[in-house]
Amino acid sequence: HQTTEGASVPTMPERLDQLSYVMTQEAVRLGIPAGTDWRFGLAANDCPTSAPYDLLDSLEPDCDEFLAIIGLDDKVDRAVACAKAAGRMLAVAAGGEAPEIEPVIAKPLAMAAITETYKTVCRGDNAVSAFMH
């Protein structure tokens, strides 16, 4: 934790852990098997990981508009809402009797996606300062 004027502020890795926890708990709540294979599962492909920053950038205006309409203005609250949505999408794709993607593959892919996206977004000075304030 970092300290700002007497208040404890989570560091970037701690925030990523918190968002990952939100995503995984939402997925488990909706039927994805719990377990320790979130970070260490089957390899899904041999491509290097990199967040689709162009796609994220193109979606941001629509997301900002939607989140403003529903009154979600705080950046951390927005990040939590997106993590919950990711957990729900994971449950749809990898849950149930006959999942489209086996959980042993989907869970580590989801963790890699949230981690790489988080790192990519937080590399920009604007994203870091916006997220921290």
Q: Domain for residue 24, yes or no?
A: yes
Name the burial class of residue 20, with classes exposed (0-12), middle (13-18) and buried (19+) by CB atoms within 10 angstroms of its CB.
Answer: buried
Identify the domain containing residue 59 by its residue range: 16-28+51-120
Q: Domain for residue 40, yes or no?
A: no
Q: Domain for residue 59, yes or no?
A: yes
Mean pLDDT of 106-116: 86
What angle, 0 to 180 degrees and rounded to 10, lies between the N-to-C axes of helices 53-69 and 103-123? 90
Quote the CA–CA distance of 6 and 130 in Å, as a whole number. 20
Q: Domain for residue 76, yes or no?
A: yes
Quote the CA–CA distance of 72 and 55 in Å, as a whole number. 22
pTM of the model: 0.75
Q: Domain for residue 1, yes or no?
A: no
CB atoms within 10 A of CB 83: 21
Sign of CA dihedral 69, 71, 72, 73: positive
Mean pLDDT of 95-122: 85
Q: Domain for residue 95, yes or no?
A: yes
Q: Domain for residue 113, yes or no?
A: yes
- Across 25-29, 105-109, 112-116, the highest mean pLDDT is recorded for 25-29
Q: How many domains does the chain have?
A: 1
SS3 3: strand
Phi and psi of 112, rounded to 5°?
-65, -40
Q: Domain for residue 35, yes or no?
A: no
Mean pLDDT of 96-120: 86
